[in-house]
Structure 1
Amino acid sequence: MNRSMIAGVIVGAIVLILVAFNALFIVDQTAQALVIQFGRPVREVRAPGLHVKAPWQNAVFYDRRLLDLEPAPESVTLRDQNRLLIDAYARYRIINPLQFYQKAGTEARFQQNLSLIISGTLFSVLGTQPLSALLSQDRDKVISEIGSKVSDQAKPFGVEIVDVRIRRADLPPGNSDAIYARMRSERQREANEYRAQGAEQAQGIRARAERDRTVILAEATKQSQILRGQGDAESIKTYADAFGKDMEFFTFYRSLEAYRTALGPDTTMVLSPDSEFFQYFGQHKAVKATGP
């Protein structure tokens, strides 16, 4: 009898411990809880600490911190038919666990829904914008519109959307190669055009320089011929004046110039003594012979 009583006490204690274990739950400071009874929410528990529930009830916990979502990149066609690979992210906070449980149930299911919301919003907003809107100051306005639409669609889930941003907007690999090839061909075309313009200008400069050179040479030749003619005329006039004043002296002077030019230290000439070339040599001897 004593053994039976002891066994009953032990079993009762174990049952009480199990009941107490199932009736108590702890809410962390970073979490919030929802008490569920037979599949229906009974109450919300937002205060951290130890709490009590019925053993047949269970507690569902949700994070109350700021959460991140990074959906897969989406290929979006813009208004000007440019395709971009959009990599976006969102930050959100669960502010109403009851609504969240009723609409999504779990955080994983909500993230799937939020990914679909972000994807649809990107298509609807960016599909009406040109590429220049994402490369200018209008980018902030476009992102603000995306965040506003995502926030409106996420409100029924009991979630506050804190931020939605486009982290990267890249061209698809095929489009990038085509655009780079087009940019290279455009730059090559511009370079060829500049080279052609430079060659044309160089040819024009060379033609003008050659023309100026020809004109300058012609003018210089003309001027030199004029000066040479004037010099020759002046020389002839000088010789004529000298010859007119004293013909004998002029003949003598010209003979001396001829001697200076023709006769040198190593010059050998075979001429007759009666040659006209030596007429003044003979006169010099005659004068010397008749002298005192």
Structure 2
Amino acid sequence: MADEKIINMNDLKNKNIEWRKYTRLGITIVAFFVLVGFVLSNLFIVKEGEYKVIRQFGEVVKIIDQPGLNYKIPFIQTVSTLPKYQKVFDVEKAEINTKDKKRIMIDNYAIWRISDPKMMISNLRSVENAEAKMGEFIFSVVRTELGQLNYDEIIDEENSSRGSLNETVTAKVNEFLKRDNYGVTVIDIRMKRTDLPAENEESVYKRMISERESKAQEYLSMGDAEKNRTIAKTDREVKELLAKAQADAEQIRAEGEQIAAQTYNSAFSQDPEFYNLYRTLESYKRTIDGETVIILPNNSPYAKLLMGYTQ
């Protein structure tokens, strides 16, 4: 029994060596994955259409604008993204007063981009702050420009005096942004719509209706004038055509009567006695009817013919 309880020290030593070997292998694998994860967590990709801003202790130390794979210093540097492409900023609606002290609601939008990322980060910190600052400038400039116009000049696009308002506002807002080194540039500013306060809508609608009715009456008057000119021209042309046709008819009739007279003369000259008889018969047609009373001498040739005497 004493022999069975004897511990083999060599076997125990071998087991301890094998356990330490697997432990070291596990630690190595874990350390490898931790190192890989640590490295990967500090790699970043710069895409098309974006800036990568690298800060070190809160200060901008580098701005990367070319696409590709990059690396930051662990624990010391941080990376943020800014848009490189153009953005659309929908400016909040605002109410302004016109030159004649009337209120009007304006709604604008701006197309802008970051032209200097470092300056933009230093002075504005974020895209939201940049848009807020642009909104202040846009409202100020639009209020100043439209405040120089009367209410009717703003709403009447055909006779407006506001000119190239969008270009003017864009240029002045860019002046303010450049003056304060904000690192952003406005590409274009447009007025989407102009709303009227409720108390002004009815008067504007009435004015619009009056203007449209006036324009319609103007078109009707122009149409009537054109119609009268057309009718007068047509009547004149008809009279000219009728006069020419009448003249042509008279000429043709005269030529026909001349030809007929020549034909009669030629025919009657060949037999005078027949001509006398024809003239006598024609006179009968004109003078004798159911109520005719003729008094003639008995020896009158005409009476003899009527009575049937040939001698």
TM-score category of the 2 structures, normalised to the smaller one:
0.5 to 0.7
Q: Give me the whole-angstrom Cα distance separating, in 2, the residues matched to 1:186 and 1:55.
A: 71
Aligned to 1:33: 52
Aligned pairs for 1:224-243 within 5 A: none
Q: Does the 8 Å CA contact 1:33/1:97 hold for their aligned counterparts?
A: no
Q: Does the 8 Å CA contact 1:78/1:128 hold for their aligned counterparts?
A: yes
**1:167: Cα distance to partner?**
1.7
Q: Sort the Cα spacing of 1:186 and 1:97 in 2 relative to 1 into closer, same or farther, 3 A.
A: closer
State whether structure 2 residue 67 is matched by structure 1 residue 11.
no
**1:181: Cα distance to partner?**
5.3
Aligned to 1:83: 103
Q: Give me the whole-angstrom Cα distance separating, in 1, the residues matched to 2:85 and 2:100.
A: 40
Equivalent residue in structure 1 for 2:128, among 85, 91, 108 = 108
- Give 3-state SS (helix, strand or coil) of 2:48's partner: coil
Q: Give me the whole-angstrom Cα distance separating, in 2, the residues matched to 1:42 and 1:67.
A: 25
Q: Sort the Cα spacing of 1:85 and 1:10 in 2 relative to 1 into closer, same or farther, 3 A.
A: same
The one-character-per-residue Cα deviations of 1:23-48 (angstroms, maximum 9, x if unpaired) are 21001101111111121111010001
Aligned to 2:232: none
Q: Sort the Cα spacing of 1:186 and 1:137 in 2 relative to 1 into closer, same or farther, 3 A.
A: closer
Q: Does the 8 Å CA contact 1:31/1:61 hold for their aligned counterparts?
A: yes
The one-character-per-residue Cα deviations of 1:32-91 (angstroms, maximum 9, x if unpaired) are 111111211110100011111112212111111110011122111111223221111100
RMSD of Structure 2 on Structure 1 (CA): 2.5
Equivalent residue in structure 2 for 1:130, among 150, 166, 188 = 150
Q: Does the 8 Å CA contact 1:93/1:162 hold for their aligned counterparts?
A: yes
- Give 3-state SS (helix, strand or coil) of 1:157's partner: coil
State whether structure 2 residue 195 is matched by structure 1 residue 170.
yes
The one-character-per-residue Cα deviations of 1:206-261 (angstroms, maximum 9, x if unpaired) are xxxxxxxxxxxxxxxxxxxxxxxxxxxxxxxxxxxxxxxxxxxxxxxxxxxxxxxx
Q: Give me the whole-angstrom Cα distance separating, in 2, the residues matched to 1:64 and 1:93.
A: 7
The normalised TM-score by structure 1 is: 0.58
Q: Sort the Cα spacing of 1:140 and 1:55 in 2 relative to 1 into closer, same or farther, 3 A.
A: farther
Amino acid at match of 2:82: Y
Q: Give me the whole-angstrom Cα distance separating, in 2, the residues matched to 1:23 and 1:110.
A: 28
Aligned to 2:87: 67
- Give the gaps of 5 or more residues in structure 1: 189-292
Report the number of matched residues. Answer: 188
Aligned to 2:176: 153
The normalised TM-score by structure 2 is: 0.55
- Give the gaps of 5 or more residues in structure 2: 1-19, 214-311
Q: Give me the whole-angstrom Cα distance separating, in 1, the residues matched to 2:212 and 2:22.
A: 100
- Give 3-state SS (helix, strand or coil) of 2:73's partner: coil
Q: Does the 8 Å CA contact 2:56/2:78 hold for their aligned counterparts?
A: yes
Q: Does the 8 Å CA contact 1:25/1:52 hold for their aligned counterparts?
A: yes
Amino acid at match of 1:28: K
Q: Give me the whole-angstrom Cα distance separating, in 1, the residues matched to 2:74 and 2:183.
A: 28
Q: Give me the whole-angstrom Cα distance separating, in 2, the residues matched to 1:154 and 1:104.
A: 11
